[in-house]
Amino acid sequence: MHALSAESLQTWAILLSTGVDPFRTIIVQQSRVPELTELMWILGTATTLPSLTGLSQFKDKSKSLKAVSVGLATYPLLQAADVLEPIRGTYHQLLSDESTLWEILENGGKRARQIVTKTLEDVKTIVGFR
């Protein structure tokens, strides 16, 4: 934990030295925001593995690897959670490939709607509203 804190401070110092304005910039240490992991998990349950491995970002980066980790496939989910996360919900985050984010959100949204619709129909039937 001590090494992580030192690295975080060093990263912050580097950002300041490059001219980042601390009064106009929000820096969030993702490991201190459990909601990011929770939101990533929720997005992951509504996203299929083929949709993640089909993203251009995954294809480009996995070409040069002998073994591809799950983290490479799921990283776009973390990016999406990071953008949706409430602390910065009104701010725009720049991503290297913003189309990847929107593709995940669109696919995840469609899948989530399907899951919710089916679940609610099942609940209505069980409870007797149908």
Per-residue pLDDT reduced to its tens digit, 71-130 = 999 998 888 887 776 554 444 454 556 676 677 777 766 776 777 677 667 666 766 665
CA distance 53 to 62: 9
| Average pLDDT, integer, range 46-69 | 91
| Domain co-membership, 77 together with 100 | yes
| Domain co-membership, 63 together with 23 | no
| Domain co-membership, 41 together with 89 | yes
Total domains present in the chain: 2
| Domain co-membership, 96 together with 56 | yes
| Domain co-membership, 84 together with 109 | yes
| Domain co-membership, 16 together with 43 | no
| Average pLDDT, integer, range 47-61 | 89
CA distance 120 to 79: 29
| Domain co-membership, 18 together with 38 | no
Q: How far is CA 34 from CA 5, 71, 107, 108, in A?
A: 17, 18, 24, 20
Q: Tell me which residue range forms the domain holding 45.
A: 33-127
| Domain co-membership, 14 together with 57 | no
CA distance 93 to 91: 6
CA distance 83 to 77: 10
| Domain co-membership, 15 together with 58 | no
| Domain co-membership, 72 together with 88 | yes
Give the count of beta carbons closer than 10 Å to the beta carbon of residue 5.
10
Identify the band that residue 70 occupies on the pLDDT scale cut at 50, 70 and 90. Answer: very high
Give residue-wise pLDDT tens across range 14-39.
988 999 888 888 777 777 888 888 88
| Domain co-membership, 26 together with 82 | no
| Domain co-membership, 68 together with 24 | no
